[in-house]
Amino acid sequence: MNSKKLVLVDGSWYLYRAFYAVEKQGLTNSKGFPTGAILVVTRMMEKLREQHKPDFFGVVFDPAIVWKILGKLLLRGKGSLTV
């Protein structure tokens, strides 16, 4: 039997965890937009992929949590969010 490995990630939880982990580090891009959480989430997913070596990798986000975090990020970066 040739079985395939699937890894599904709760992206909202990763983003929430990363956001509060790097909140006070002040990692921003050249325009002042906070980028630390994005960097941490990317590294966490890379590590997960390296550890488990899945054939398939998926990330699922809860929109309510993502909007809440994006709102906080934009307030810090003094940006705006339009849908």
Q: What is the pLDDT along the chain (83 residues), one digit of tens a residue?
A: 688 999 999 888 888 888 778 767 777 778 877 788 888 889 999 999 999 999 999 998 888 877 777 777 666 555 554 54
Residue 2 lies in a domain: no
Q: Tell me the C-alpha distance between 35 and 22, whole Å.
A: 9
The pLDDT assigned to 83 comes to: 43
Q: Which structural domain, as residue segments, surrounds residue 50? A: 7-77
Residue 82 lies in a domain: no
The pLDDT assigned to 78 comes to: 53
Residue 43 lies in a domain: yes
Q: Tell me the C-alpha distance between 36 and 39, whole Å.
A: 5
Give which of 1, 5, 10 is closest to 51, Cα–Cα.
Answer: 5
Residue 22 lies in a domain: yes
The pLDDT assigned to 6 comes to: 93
Give the number of domains in the chain. 1
Residue 29 lies in a domain: yes
Residue 39 lies in a domain: yes
Residue 31 lies in a domain: yes
Residue 33 lies in a domain: yes
